[in-house]
Amino acid sequence: MNNMGAGIAITGCGSAAPEAILTNYHLAQMVETSDEWIKTRTGMSNRHIASPTESLSQLSAVAAKNAIAMAGISATDIDLIILATSTPDDMFGSACKVQGLIGATNAVAFDLTAACSGFLFALINATQFIRNGVYRNVLIIGADVLSRWVDWSDRASCVLFGDGAGAAVCQGISDGDRLLSYGMYSNGSQNDSLNLNYQSDCQALVDGIIAQQGTYHPITMNGKEVYRFAVARVPEAIEKAMFHANLTANDIDWLLLHQANQRIMDAVAKRLKIPSEKILSNIAEYGNTSAASIPLALDAAVREGKVKPGDTIAASGFGAGLTWGAAIFQWG
């Protein structure tokens, strides 16, 4: 296709979450904690947990179908699928599986791994393909099943994470551009602040050749460092994006942040001088769903009628890597 100079619009969104809900009261039966302790420090009440019969690919497909339906197109209209995830069903990637499940027979598909920044990075990647005229309809999905990799005996981290998927359809348009600005950042010197590491056992093969055989071990996190990083870097990234879009905080209708911790979201809003009522938050229901958290919150707000066509949204993802980024876009 030849669509040089196209702008981008996000025309549909969708989400999906497992049926099983793990409450704070459930967690209090598992580790030494309480509903009050968790709510006060995180803002979380529930998180959805995938059962043995629910896969990341299935959740992604449901979210994708909902987004495609809202956009008013069919799966065969999709040119590209970008699946942002750190927990694929298959280490070779799950995007192609999703492509098959939704019947997007004309789409190329690939996975993108950037942890909790994944959906935002997928949006920015999709933008390049559309603006360059390569593709017209791009489906981006943020999905994670972090419950697979949680240490359920670690009370500092097990209260945080849940499972889910969210999706959005990005389309090329000729009348302007709804993505007003963006930025992506990484700092590998802080990599050890949040990890899901591979740990190997040695297996001798022949003549002194040793192979690694092992698996990934549960999530480890330095909560204080991640908090400090987020409240410093996220407002800075959003301020830069607003500057490049020639906007001020008064021009922002909604603040859409990775749902890591309600205290982080409140601190970012305060630094940006954005009123707390403009924060889009569903962390109480879903907890931290990594790459899924931004599209889950967006989909809920759109379907509730909170976010309306033309609204200006400041979004930011941040997490393991460490990675972070921001984007300013208009909905619809």
Active site residues: 116, 258, 288
Phi, psi of 220 (to 5 degrees): -120, 145
| Distance in angstroms (rounded) separating the CA atoms of residues 28 and 72 | 44
Phi, psi of 293 (to 5 degrees): -65, -40
Phi, psi of 189 (to 5 degrees): -70, -15
Distance, C-alpha 30 to centroid of its chain = 27
In order of 1, 43, 183, 276, the CA distances from 287 in angstroms are: 40, 8, 25, 19
Rg (CA), the chain: 20
Structure tokens, 292: 């899924």
In order of 61, 291, 332, the CA distances from 250 in angstroms are: 37, 28, 20
Of 32, 261, 263, 23, the C-alpha closest to 155 is 32
- Rounded to the nearest 10°, the torsion over CA 64, 69, 75, 80 is -50
Structure tokens, 301: 């707000």
| Distance in angstroms (rounded) separating the CA atoms of residues 12 and 66 | 8
Q: Provide the strand spans (E) within 262-322.
A: 312-319
